[in-house]
Structure 1
């Protein structure tokens, strides 16, 4: 019988016997006790989270609370140099790009443009230039259009990473915001390929009858969280640790059980894990992703016995 995701993750991490703790980063998310997916990895002591808070007072407040297994950096990551941060009253819309009023009108989100926006000057640094920052195994980012700049400035930091989860925009919300196509091209240039989407958000367009539609029936794609993984076409170029890290993140963040099994197969072939791990893992994955066991064929009657009876 399959076990729940927490127990399955704990069991998997124990079986993999990681050589070191993984380095994870979540750029653009306020620190909270609830950490999506990778919180399971941190909870069992298998990873450390690296987070950013550029505002001095907020940095001091978070640092004083001593978040568990977290290293905090007083910096803002993006395209190096001076920038203006447009702090929107709706925090999730804040960005270093100016909000597009034309976009808001089309998406039937006129109220977005009526909220206060405060312009805050700041200095951005490239991810590779952050003092003391380690090479990452995993990166999640939600920086409202600045994901491309983060990637361009973090090539060294991400040179051994196995998974990147960016928010990708299907419809541009900000003036001068890079397209998803540009971000995808940069991710592929750095050796990552699109694996899956964790979710996609659509909005309901306005019309004289828009209130007759169900709220979640909108058709216009807006954005979503995509999962990019290290290109696996030449797995011999990946270290044992990278394969183990990808197996863990596939299980916990992407919920891609087939990808986890793929990594475990490679590790087993290398003799890097015990031979029973893959089989035992398959006994723990959710039943709904597995084929039903085929019934064994009934034994054919013994020919000699049949002749005797006749």
Structure 2
């Protein structure tokens, strides 16, 4: 597999799974972080196609504009609003909350935003560690806290992007590994305190065809003394029972399933879609 094999065609409306759920309507708002690319963008589009009003947020303003262009192509742009915001900034988190409430009954929160830094533990930059913690673990907690009363009033649900790295770890990714275990703990805490009024779930996948993954391949190759193709085939897919990575839309469909009535008994649980990566061996 080469880097070109990691490209993903644009999402088409017919490829989005549409759920027969009377709670999926424009009066309900779904907040999505990381909405400028990858899985976050796919969740934005899938939620809009399913009839929800979506507030997409990201630090990448240009990427958010591209998300709107995709929404226009799918004829759902009227359901998507964007707010450019840095999840490390507490004032920005409050602004996201206020903007979501202005658009309707906040019922769903998808914490998808992610970043990566590859380095050995003994030299891992503290600034990178702190940023990953703030964006990928602290911000989901703060947004959930800010929106708690809304979610409680609207039979709401929080979906958190976890990972196989929230089940087991690989080297040189100490910050990412730590937050992914942490996001599963946050998910279970939300479920415990939601007391049936606020549900929560996490989604754990292996490697997905996103910029976050493709951008780390050269760095991982350099760290391990491998060629790019070797990283893809041996490191990323070596333990999986598949020769193909998931697409962002496949993950987005899982988020919409988790928000839907079909998942009414999914509370605190983790949707592990890893192609056998963590639970099988040769």
TM class by smaller structure = 0.3 to 0.5
What is the TM-score normalised by the length of structure 2? 0.45
What is the TM-score normalised by the length of structure 1? 0.42
The structure with more strand, counted as a fraction of residues: 1
When Rg is computed on C-alpha atoms for both structures, the one with the higher figure is: 1
The structure with more helix, counted as a fraction of residues: 2
